[in-house]
Structure 1
Amino acid sequence: MNILIADDERAIREGIKRTIEQISPDYHVHLAAMATEAVQIMGSNRIDIVLTDILMPGMNGLEFMKISKHRYPLVKWVVISAHSEFSYAQEAVRLGARDYLLKPIGKKRLVELIEHLQPEIWQESERMREEEKLRRNLKFLHEGVLRRLASGLDTGNLDTQSLIQEYSEFYLVMVQLEGTRKRTGTGTEPVYPLEHFIVENVLSELIDTQGRGLVISYDFDCLLGLVVPDGDLEEFKDQVKGHLTHYLKIPFHIAVSGHIQDFDTIPQVVTQMRQASAVQAVEPAKGSGEKSIDDALLYIQEHYSEDLSLERVASVVYLNPAYFSQLFKLKTGQGYKDYVISLRLEQAKKLLLNPRLRLADIAGRIGYQDMRHFTQVFRRKFGLTPTEFRHKQNVKVI
């Protein structure tokens, strides 16, 4: 049995892992500190149980479960949290969580949970996984054909007839992501696999619930859906946009083709859609990214004494640094660096009122290891040194 533990607290992850391995050394336990790592693990391993914390950097545990359930219908989800708020437990149950465990998790409770889920997983392994495998094999075949057609490649010996018969007419929906590649020594690779995962799952779920079709990864920054909607295509597009606006934290663009009845025209249509995306400015949908900046501000408030480089905080909320910097200034009216300096120095002023604290201690508490640098920054901001500030406030150091 394969178990995934997704929690940003290392002690919690390791503690649960040790307990599970004591239950049975044969269990394979995978660890993830955030949703990005969990997505990669689930993509390369057949996971039976996921224990996910609610509050993780970037995508929280409930959102991670919601966005993943369509793709992994047989996985058993268990939510773990330090909060006993009823709303969290209620939402977890609504999303299909099998249990809601409060930290610290007792060994006895964890053993009972695993032993309860184990027979169900084994039973499903015999019957449902075979059925699921057959369905997925046909789906993979159709996706492979569509991927080659979209890229203008020869389909070779692949069975195209079953795909053509199933989809005699359809539309193509393309989602283009911005800022999802980085250069490496061997070419390019995705920077935000979680965002790619989100688009794939949102498109797949909406297609399955409001029609039928397929979703393929056309490129690192582009996904393509073949869809036969039950209702109005524009309404379907609006729903895709609404869901992606909620979940994505990078800019994206959606393009929809006209009505297609001939598979041979797919390469030409895809090329036209890609060209249209290239010349059209890719703007974030209204509201997308706002929650990310709110999360970033909260993170900064809680970690102002640590390394707070723009790159680090941008990675915590899954935004590329340039885009994060733009959004941050729009939201706060300040550049990122100026905001952090102001926050730290305001904290320093409060700490300077405590006569028991030495200047070196105060500098360290607000993230400055070099006291000379702290003094220079403080003087530039307020026109006097920390010591002069204390004298002005009549603070006598003990």
Structure 2
Amino acid sequence: MNVLLVDDEPLVLEQMEYMIQSIFPFWTFHKAADAVQALTINQTHKINLAFLDINLPGRSGLEFGEDLRALNKEVEIIMVTAHQSFDYAQQSIRIGVVDYLTKPVIESELHKVLSKYQESGATQNYSSLIHHSLTFIHENFAEKISLSDIAREVHTNPTYLSRKFHEEVGTSFSEYLMHYRIKAAKRALIANTNWSISDVAENSGFNSQHYFSTLFRKIEGITPKEFREKGK
């Protein structure tokens, strides 16, 4: 399931991803700050579900939603807004919006909106072996874990697990773990402003602040400190 999150507030994007990922850990998330970025993402990924903030810079979420539906008839759209409005509701119905969430988004309300995807079994088609391996990673990423640790946990050979992991997930175990830790660090940088960069690194599974900062800049294009400043 490819999920598109569009909001001009970085903290909202990170929180939304975190809350949804707690229910659907194997969904893939794509985030954008405005309609231009979102359209670019839609050109390279088949979006199944989109959460759109109504008040975006440039084209509004409703205007972008109309564009998105014209390009992708099967996408399901959920609008996120700080204001309830009859006009917004009318426009939403016209473009086929499936649901509404009001800011600040409450986790219980989000879970209610997403319940139909749980009932329909809308998860990626991973084998039981890989499903359990990913769950172990998501629950223990902050610890020192290796492929051998996971292989012992799921009762298989590390070489076999490595091959199956790459076949089904599309990347190696080490690459997946690294990117998952970076995602966790991004959430921590914005949500825990009292943490030092060293604290963020340690709580995200990195044993060296220098390595974490170097890797973060390589992947995100900015330093952890700059990312935190952008999120304020």
State TM-score, norm by structure 1.
0.30
Q: With CA pairs under 8 Å and 6+ residues apart, which has the higher RCO, 1 or 2?
A: 2
State TM-score, norm by structure 2.
0.50
Higher strand share: 1
